[in-house]
């Protein structure tokens, strides 16, 4: 009986280590974030990226100044644009760092855009889709196009899971010991078309760290980008 009470106490103590959800955006400024202010601003109480009048020449990211390891991230995102002008695409970058002398970030991206919703892409690292929903239509069917959609992203140890509007999309477990399991959170606006992305209600609940997990400091920070590296195409590829 005493052992049972000890177990309950230890479980309660472990749960208490997780921090309460904290807001990453104050709704008024970009305090705590960094990026090219030509492409990022606060409009209508939302983080706003891209343009309604000109094409995005290069991928742009607005990133947190802080890094995180294990967490549950929630945010609402709205992506708009005219596909006739080029690729209309965005995504939520996690466990990522900036590529030196570039606008890019390297790391995991939970993607957003027609043909991409709910997929997990490895940005400026493996440069490919690394996980897709078990139901290939799950992400697309869950999305309200041109409207607000809620992403819930849980990264815990090597496992990354995501939901769109409550619908499960990817469930991926990293097997490469040289891939960092920490880094920054960012919002992307993809190059190509005349597009705008907005994000709001951004909260993060930090979870207990994973002992011995690989970090960017351990595995090495991103290197300058290879100009011949593959770029994301308008038609989403299958996972490899």
Kindly state whether residue 147 falls inside one of the protein's structural domains.
yes
Kindly state whether residue 27 falls inside one of the protein's structural domains.
no
- Torsion-angle region of 52 (φ positive above 0: left; ψ -120 to 50: alpha; else: beta): alpha
pLDDT band at 11; cut points 50, 70, 90 = very low
Q: Rounded to two decimals, what is the model's pTM?
A: 0.90
Beta bridge partners of 198: 48, 78
Average pLDDT over residues 79-107: 97
Helix (H) or strand (E) segment spanning residue 139: helix 138-142
Kindly state whether residue 161 falls inside one of the protein's structural domains.
yes
Average pLDDT over residues 6-13: 44
Q: How far apart are CA 202 and CA 73, in angstroms?
A: 7
Kindly state whether residue 44 falls inside one of the protein's structural domains.
yes
Taking each continuous run of H as one helix and of E as one strand, the counts in the chain are: 3, 15
Contact 7, 196 (CB under 8 A): no
Place of tokens 């601003």: 41
Average pLDDT over residues 92-103: 97
Write the pLDDT tens digit of every residue in 13-72: 444 455 799 999 999 999 999 999 999 999 999 999 999 999 999 999 999 999 999 999
**Number of folded domains that form the chain:** 1
Q: Which residues, in sequence order, are CB contacts of 158 under 8 Å at separation 6+?
A: 173, 174, 175, 181, 213
Contact 59, 124 (CB under 8 A): no
Q: How far apart are CA 178 and CA 189, in angstroms?
A: 27
Query: For position 149, which CATH number holds?
Result: 2.60.120.560
Q: Which of 70, 64, 60 is nearest to 123 (CA)?
A: 60
Q: What is the pLDDT of residue 230?
A: 67
Q: What is the CA angle 118-126-50, rounded to 5?
A: 55
Neighbours of 22 (CB within 10 A): 11
Measured between its terminal Cα atoms, the distance across the chain in Å is 51
Contact 134, 117 (CB under 8 A): no
Taken in order 213, 217, 220, 221, the sign of the CA dihedral is positive
Identify which has the larger pLDDT, 77 or 225: 77
Contact 42, 48 (CB under 8 A): yes
Q: Which domain does 138 fall in, by range? A: 35-211
Kindly state whether residue 234 falls inside one of the protein's structural domains.
no
Instruction: With a cut of 50, say whether residue 86 has pLDDT above it.
Output: yes
When the pLDDT of each residue in the chain is averaged and rounded to a whole number, the result is: 91
Kindly state whether residue 66 falls inside one of the protein's structural domains.
yes
Cα–Cα separations (whole angstroms), residue 137 to 115, 143, 221: 9, 10, 35
Kindly state whether residue 5 falls inside one of the protein's structural domains.
no
Kindly state whether residue 126 falls inside one of the protein's structural domains.
yes
Q: How far apart are CA 94 and CA 186, in angstroms?
A: 7
């Amino acid at each position: 009986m005493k052992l049972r009470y000890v177990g309950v106490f230890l479980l309660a103590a472990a749960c208490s280590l997780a921090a309460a959800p904290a807001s990453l955006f104050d709704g008024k400024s970009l305090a705590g974030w960094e990026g090219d202010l030509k492409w990022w601003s606060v409009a209508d109480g939302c983080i706003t990226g891209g343009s309604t009048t000109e094409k995005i020449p290069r991928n742009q990211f607005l990133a947190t100044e802080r890094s995180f390891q294990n967490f549950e991230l929630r945010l609402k995102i709205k992506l708009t644009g005219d596909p006739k002008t080029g690729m209309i695409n965005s995504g939520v970058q996690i466990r990522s760092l900036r590529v030196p002398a570039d606008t890019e970030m390297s790391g995991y991206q939970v993607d957003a855009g027609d043909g991409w919703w709910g997929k997990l892409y490895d940005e400026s690292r493996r440069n490919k889709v690394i996980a897709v929903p078990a139901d290939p239509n799950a992400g697309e069917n869950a999305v309200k196009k041109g409207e607000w959609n809620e992403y819930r992203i849980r990264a815990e140890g090597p496992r990354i899971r995501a939901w769109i509007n409550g619908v499960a999309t990817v469930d991926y477990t990293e097997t490469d010991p040289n891939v960092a399991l920490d880094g920054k959170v960012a919002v992307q606006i993809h190059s190509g078309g005349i597009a705008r992305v907005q994000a709001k209600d951004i909260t993060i609940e930090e979870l207990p760290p994973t002992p011995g997990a690989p970090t960017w400091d351990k595995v090495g920070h991103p290197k300058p980008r290879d100009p011949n590296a593959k770029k994301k195409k308008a038609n989403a590829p299958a996972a490899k």
